[in-house]
Amino acid sequence: MVIAGGYESTQVDFAARPPGAVSTAGRRQRGTAYVQPTIAIQGDWDSMAQRDQVKQGGGRTLLVTGGAGFIGGNFAQHIRRAHPEWRVVVLDKLTYAGNEANLAALRGDPDLAFIRGDICDRADVERALDTLGGCDAVLNFAAETHVDRSILDPGAFVRTDVEGTYTLLEAARARGVARFIQISTDEVYGNAAAPDGTSRPSRETDALMPLSPYAASKAGADRLAFSYWATYGLPVVVTRCANNYGPYQYPEKQLPLFILNALHDRPLPVYGDGANTRDWIHVRDHCAALEAILLAPAEQVDGEVFNVGADEERSVLDNARLVLELLGKPDSLIQFVPDRLGHVRRHAVDSSRLRARLGWHPAMRFREGLAETVAWYQAHAEWLADVLAREDSFLHQARALAETAGGAR
């Protein structure tokens, strides 16, 4: 089996909204896009055999937590295109980075249900698991994810990333789900290195050495999920992916922040000397890897950890220069700023285990993918305007970082 990302584009009309008042049945309207979920709660499964019959018949139902966020929203779109016989239930709290507009391409889809809720709330989780006839698999994308935010407010990360994962695991165990995929991160490794300190891409067997509250909270969730496999036999798979990029990414993150600032001729903030490197993967390649794991037999993936990466290592400075090149902007917009606390020098992963076992491989080269991403942000001014109109003080501070803390160099 060989699975690679698909790259057909989807045109989304963010201005289109159905008329009428918002009902209390889960429908929501927030200024740009409208998602009308079909929520049909049918109670608990009568037996594990009933759930298995649905699974064997080809019609799976996935609970996608954080499905209105960047990676989760892309995954929901990917799986509905790739497997139209599968159903998707999205559970999302709609915090600052959650956005119903990320699901606008699926508006009116009868096999997509949206529930606004918190993964830390057992009632919300159980309601989601019972929607559309009951979910037989869980993919946990829901998390606080920004390193800088975790430095300012670590408690929020511990609550969502650890307590929320615990709540999901308990509910999934009670219902006997067929697969639980915990979306972790390569941040859990700290600096990519061999046990003797030699720099090399991280392997699944490397020690976890998180260097930020965000990374530590994800490491805690990662190991908690694995413990439910080791202790209770819950069929857990943990994935540790490299840095994602692509459409719908909230512009506090490096690449969309650079794109947004460059579009408005504002300086691009580059931490320290700009030499810190990351491995980059297009979000649709990540989605294809998760699809491969969902399709794999239990003996190949249950209880396993898989790195997901594209072997596309680039420095922060490299990325700033390429964004400016693609937009025809001068390098003089690059501005160096004081380094981040606990800044990891190198993140990179060895994904050979996943490639060898499941035949997955990334399809998008970085330059091509970034050019496509830049074009997407240029074409979706309404989406960006809606995000900026939310008055997220952290985002506005990030955009102004080069102007307030930088020094020409």
Q: What pLDDT is recorded for position 96?
A: 83
CATH number of 28-245+281-312+342-366: 3.40.50.720
Give 105-121 pLDDT, tens digit per residue: 999 999 999 999 999 99
Predicted TM-score (pTM) above 0.75: yes
Give 4-61 pLDDT, tens digit per residue: 544 333 333 323 333 333 232 333 333 322 222 222 222 232 333 333 433 444 689 9
Mean pLDDT, residues 327-342: 92
Percent of the chain with pLDDT strictly greater than 90: 73
Smallest Cα–Cα separation from 185: which of 47, 278, 295? Answer: 278
Residue 377: alpha-carbon gap to chain centroid: 18
Q: Does the pLDDT value for residue 402 go beyond 60? A: yes
Q: What pLDDT is recorded for position 58?
A: 64
For residue 187, indicate whether it is catalytic: yes
**In sequence order, what are the residues at sequence separation of 6 or more whose Cβ sits closer than 8 angstroms to the Cβ of residue 213?**
150, 151, 154, 157, 158
State whether the Cα torsion 179-183-188-193 is positive or negative. Answer: positive
Q: Does the pLDDT value for residue 138 go beyond 70? A: yes
8 Å CB contact between 94 and 68 = yes
Q: At what angle do helices 122-129 and 164-175 cross, to 10 degrees?
A: 40
**In DSSP terms, which residues pair with 65 in a beta bridge?**
91, 140
Q: Which amino acid is at 52?
A: D
**DSSP character string of 166-208:** HHHHHHHHHHT-SEEEEEEEGGGG-S-B-TTS-B--B-TTSPP
For residue 189, indicate whether it is catalytic: no
Which candidate in 109, 186, 291, 304 is catalytic? Answer: 186
Collapse the DSSP code of 90 into the 3-class scheme (helix H, G, I; strand E, B; otherwise coil) and give the result.
Answer: strand
Mean pLDDT, rounded, of the chain: 86
Which candidate in 34, 166, 189, 214 is catalytic? Answer: 214
Which candidate in 118, 187, 291, 312 is catalytic? Answer: 187
